[in-house]
């Protein structure tokens, strides 16, 4: 009988994409996928180290999953992804019944580790980081009927933002060959995918030399947008320092490149940005945003903000709130600073903003963003958008759920369409999180 594997994924979109690479590797080894941990012979947790709280939750979940071994003694449990390279051997001290750990560059070795594990070895560990691994020749596993897909185009990070574990958990930046990206996009289109999101920790620092010429991120976008004109293209996450005029121009040129950009600001105070080692000032960030606003009508900008970084004063915090209003992000991911041992900030600075102050500042940031998102959405009332239907709405199965090119979530009543269809929808009502619309023109309502 085939062995069954269950994978639980935490953290960023890159991990979601990596899980599909792992599925692909394991399916070649004869594994079948299952949806419930209780049905599995092998459980993998693809983990995230970005904040302490995330790690704590994963460890307590791992202990819960370990208890399944009582009923099924042959069950193997592994931790893969960022927590493996970050915690190393310590993971086995925290969870002694764990069978194996593998880092983000070690997925090709999973079959070997599993073979060793089934032959009785325990505490197996492969956490070596690579300067070249991009899994370029592995087509990630995708179930049928997926409308949207991730395509990882580069891995790792060279930026060393002071707060961040990623350079340590995922190693140095490297880009995937253009032809392997094209193959994957082609394969996804054949499977019926209608929208792809290019992924990388610094997606816009993509570079590839094919021997004849160098390809930078705008060149890649241009190439893919030309070859697949019916495909909607997104990308995440960009670093402000690598945003170029060429990027803005190529986005403006192609209607199939979605008019939306995720550009983490992190703080509105130049003093804090310098301490964070972000390599831009607020003024430089705003100038680049203005390029987008001036060149691509209706483009939306989302961001990441950290509250309470080392040394952040009330004045710095006010600057962040001001910058958020000024730029008018339509959406933001907002976090309380969490010190990660070994990062530049942990070595250089004191984590000196009291926890209740961090919480209060984060609360103010969240409240402001809710207001900004609501105001942003209000401007969409009576406008029509092309919405790509992703599936039934979770709240009301009689409504479809989809996204506009601007990356806003829209729900609207069923009109005989299917996931994957693009429908013109007129917005009639909004909340801070969702647009509610009606198909436009309302031909089927007569
Ligand atoms: N504490 C809080 N937030 C963090 N992020 C990264 N590291 C930390 C940390 N130590 C946030 C940043 C980043 C996003 C993915 O997570 O905003 O852009
Ligand atoms: Fe988490 Fe960052 Fe690793 Fe993604 S790259 S899983 S966000 S630590």
Question: Going by CA atoms, what residue is nearest to atom 14 of ligand 1?
Answer: 304
114-149 pLDDT, tens digit per residue, is 999 999 999 999 999 999 999 999 999 988 788 999
Of the ligands numbered here, which is closest to the C-alpha atom of 11?
Answer: 2
Q: Which atom of ligand 2 is nearest to the CA of 14?
A: 4
Which ligand lies nearest the alpha carbon of 200? 2
30-39 mean pLDDT: 96
Q: Is the CB of 264 under 6 A from ligand 1?
A: yes
Tell whether the model's pLDDT for residue 445 goes beyond 80.
Answer: no
- Burial string for 118-146 (b: 16+ CB within 10 Å, else e) reads eeeeeebbbbebbeebbbbebebbbeeeb
Is the pLDDT confidence value at 446 over 70? no
User: How high is the pLDDT of residue 251?
Assistant: 98
14: CA distance to ligand 2 center in Å? 7
Provide the residue count of the chain.
Answer: 446
Closest residue by CA, ligand 2 atom 6: 48
Confidence of residue 444 (pLDDT cuts 50, 70, 90): very low
pLDDT at 271: 98
Give the residue, out of 160, 170, 172, with the most ligand 2 atoms within 8 A of its beta carbon, to mutate for a pocket test.
170
Q: pLDDT digit string (tens) for 214-269?
A: 999 999 999 999 999 999 999 999 999 999 999 999 999 999 999 999 999 999 99
Express each pLDDT in 314-344 by its tens digit. 999 999 999 999 999 999 999 999 999 999 9
Is it the case that residue 443 has pLDDT exceeding 80? no
CA–CA dist 321, 329 (Å, integer): 11
Our answer on whether the CB atom of 399 is closer than 6 Å to any ligand 1 atom is no
Query: How far apart (Å, rounded) are the C-alpha atoms in residues 172 and 166?
Result: 9
Report whether residue 403 contacts ligand 1, using a CB cutoff of 6 Å: no
Average pLDDT of the residues in 399-420: 94
Other Cβ atoms less than 10 A from the Cβ of 444: the count is: 11
Please tell me the predicted confidence (pLDDT) of residue 442.
58
338 lines ligand 1 (CB under 6 A): yes
- Tell me the H-state helices in 306-343: 314-327
- Residue reference for tokens 């935490």: 10
Residue identifier of the C-alpha nearest atom 6 of ligand 1: 164
Which residue CA neighbors atom 4 of ligand 2 most closely? Answer: 12
Rounded average pLDDT over 370-375 = 98
Question: Mean pLDDT throughout 364-393?
Answer: 97
Residue 422 reports pLDDT greater than 80 = yes
The bridge status of strand 42-47 relative to strand 4-9 is parallel
Pocket test for ligand 2, best of 163, 168, 169, 172 (most atoms within 8 A of CB): 169
Q: What share of the chain is helix, strand, coil (3-state, %, to 5)?
A: 40, 25, 40
pLDDT, one tens digit per residue, over 59-108 is 999 999 999 999 999 999 999 999 999 999 999 999 999 999 999 999 99
Kindly indicate the confidence band of residue 42, based on its pLDDT and cuts at 50, 70 and 90: very high
pLDDT exceeds cutoff 60 at 170: yes
Q: Is the pLDDT of residue 54 over 50?
A: yes
Question: Which ligand does the CA of 309 lie closest to?
Answer: 1
Q: Which pTM value belongs to this model?
A: 0.96
Predicted local confidence at residue 433, as pLDDT = 96
DSSP characters over 134-163: --TT-PPP--TT-SEEEEE-EE------TT
- Whether the per-residue pLDDT at 57 is higher than 60: the answer is yes
Render 208-260 in DSSP notation, one character per residue. Answer: EE-SS-EEEHHHHHHHHHHH-TTSEEEEE---GGG--HHHHHHHHH-TTB-SE
CA distance 125 to 120: 14
- Report how far residue 84's alpha carbon sits from residue 61's, in angstroms, rounded to the nearest whole number: 15
Pocket-forming residues, ligand 2, beta carbon under 6 Å: 11-12, 14-15, 48-50, 81-82, 165-166, 169-170
Pocket test for ligand 1, best of 11, 48, 164 (most atoms within 8 A of CB): 164
pLDDT higher than threshold 70 for residue 310: yes
The pLDDT mean for the chain works out to 96
């Amino acid at each position: 009988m085939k062995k069954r594997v269950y994978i639980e994924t935490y953290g960023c979109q890159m991990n979601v994409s990596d899980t599909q690479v792992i599925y692909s590797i394991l399916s070649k080894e004869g594994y079948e996928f299952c949806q419930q941990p209780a049905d599995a012979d092998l459980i993998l947790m693809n983990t995230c180290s970005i904040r302490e709280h995330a790690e704590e939750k994963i460890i307590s979940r791992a202990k819960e999953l370990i208890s399944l071994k009582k009923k099924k003694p042959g069950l193997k449990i592994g931790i893969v992804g960022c927590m493996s390279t970050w915690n190393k051997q310590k993971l086995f001290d925290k969870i002694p019944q764990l069978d194996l750990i593998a880092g983000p560059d070690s997925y090709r070795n999973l079959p070997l580790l599993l073979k060793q594990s089934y032959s009785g070895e325990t505490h197996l560990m492969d956490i070596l980081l690579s300067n070249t691994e991009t899994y370029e020749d592995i087509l990630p596993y995708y179930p049928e009927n997926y409308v949207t897909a991730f395509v990882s185009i580069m891995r790792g990070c060279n930026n060393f933002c002071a707060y961040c574990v990623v350079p340590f958990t995922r190693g140095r930046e490297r880009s995937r060959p253009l032809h392997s990206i094209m193959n994957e996009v082609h394969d996804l289109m054949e499977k019926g995918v209608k929208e792809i999101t290019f992924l990388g920790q610094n997606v816009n620092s993509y570079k590839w030399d094919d021997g004849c010429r160098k390809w930078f991120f705008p060149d890649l976008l241009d190439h893919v947008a030309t070859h697949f004109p019916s495909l909607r293209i997104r990308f995440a996450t960009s670093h402000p320092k690598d945003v170029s005029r060429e990027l803005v121009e190529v986005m403006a040129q192609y209607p199939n490149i979605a008019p939306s950009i995720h550009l983490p600001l992190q703080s509105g105070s130049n003093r804090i940005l310098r301490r964070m080692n972000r390599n831009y000032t607020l003024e430089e960030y705003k100038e680049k945003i203005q390029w987008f606003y001036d060149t691509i009508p209706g483009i939306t900008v989302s961001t990441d903000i950290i509250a309470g970084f080392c040394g952040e004063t009330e004045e710095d915090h006010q600057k962040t709130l001001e910058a958020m209003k000024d730029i008018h992000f339509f959406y933001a991911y907002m976090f309380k600073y969490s010190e990660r041992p070994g990062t530049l900030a942990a070595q250089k600075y004191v984590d000196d903003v009291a926890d209740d102050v961090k919480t209060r500042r984060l609360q103010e940031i969240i409240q402001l963003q809710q207001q900004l998102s609501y105001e942003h959405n209000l401007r969409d009332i009576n406008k029509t958008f092309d919405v790509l239907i992703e599936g039934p709405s979770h709240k009301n199965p009689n409504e479809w759920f989809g996204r506009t090119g601007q990356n806003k979530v829209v729900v609207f009543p069923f009109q005989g369409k299917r996931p994957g269809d693009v429908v013109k929808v007129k917005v009639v009502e909004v909340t801070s999180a969702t647009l509610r619309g009606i198909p436009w023109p309302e031909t089927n309502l007569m």
